[in-house]
Amino acid sequence: MIITPQQLAARIDSALIIPEATLPDFQAAAAEAMQLQLAAFCVPGAWVAIVREMIRPPVKLCGVIAFPHGNDTPTVKAFAAVGVIKDGAEEIDLVANLNHLINADLASARAELQEIADAARTVRPDVVLKVIVESAVMMRLGPNRAEAALACACQAIRESGCNFIKTSTGFHPAGGVSLDALRLIKKHAQGIQIKASAGVRDWSAAQAVLAAGADRIGTSYAQQILATHATA
C-alpha cells in the first residue's frame, strides 16, 4: 500500500486519555492534532467542552466514555454519550460490555449498543460511534471462541447502527492490536469500519495495520509515526 504522510495523518485519531493530564497537556496535544491535520482528537468526557474551543475542521473532536473497562450500565453509557455530544463531541469512543462479547451473547451486546446509539442520535444524528472490544482479550480465548466473540461484536455493532469496531483501549493487560485479530475482524466487519488502536508507534506498524484492514489508527504517537516515514 502506497500512502503519503498526509493521507496517513487523515486516518489517525490521536488521544490524550491519561487521568493526570492537565490543561497545558490538552492544549499541546490539540495543537499537534491541528498541525498534523489528523482525523480526530480523542479526550475524556470531562474535557470535551474545554477542548471544543481548541479543535477546528477537518479534525473532529471525539469524546471517550465508559473508559477503560466498559462496566457501566447501558443507560449510564447512553447518558454519558448524550452529555459529550451536547458538549461538542462529533464522535464517541465507547467501551462495550466485554462479558457479552466473550460469551458471544449477541442479543445483550446489540441491546446495549442500540440503547447508546438511539440516545446519541436523538441529539446528533450524524455522530460517529466507535465501539471498543479489547480484541486481545478475545484472542486469548482460543481460535474458535475468539472468532465467535469478534463476529458477535461486529454483528452487534452493525445491527445497532454504530460505525466502527475499535480493537483496544490500550489500558487492558491483555494488550493492544494484533494483525491476527485485525484479519478476523475484517472477515466479519461487513460494512462497519475498523479502528486499530494500542501498539501502533511507527510508520511500518501503521502500514501493517492498514494492510490488515484498518480504516483508522488510534494512537498517542501520531507525530512519531509520521516522523518515521523518511526512514521506513
Average pLDDT, the chain: 96
Between strands 60-65 and 40-44, the pairing is: parallel
pLDDT exceeds 60 at position 29? yes
DSSP string, 35-85: HHT-SEEEEEGGGHHHHGGG--TTSEEEEEESTTT--S-HHHHHHHHHHHH
DSSP secondary structure string for all residues of 163-192: -EEE---S-STT-S--HHHHHHHHHHHTT-
User: What pLDDT sits at residue 2?
Assistant: 75
Asked whether the beta carbons of 47 and 26 are under 8 A apart, the reply is: yes
Domains of the chain by residue range: 5-231
Q: What pLDDT, on a 0 to 100 scale, did the predictor assign at position 145?
A: 97
Cell of 178: 494484533
pLDDT over threshold 80, residue 94: yes
**Would you identify the CATH topology of the domain 5-231?**
TIM Barrel (3.20.20)
Are 164 and 130 contacting, i.e. CB atoms less than 8 angstroms apart?
yes
Residue 50's pLDDT is 98
Neighbours of 83 (CB within 10 A): 17
Model confidence band, residue 202 (pLDDT cutoffs 50, 70, 90): very high
Instruction: Categorize the per-residue pLDDT at 65 as very low, low, confident or very high, splitting at 50, 70 and 90.
Output: very high
This prediction has a pTM of 0.96
How wide is the angle at C-alpha 159 spanned by C-alphas 156 and 160, nearest 5°?
80
What residues act catalytically? 93, 166, 195
* Percent over 90 (pLDDT), the chain: 95
The H or E element containing residue 28 is: helix 23-36
Residues belonging to the chain: 232
- 135 near 149, Cβ under 8 Å? no
Residues 6+ away with beta carbon under 8 Å from 24: none
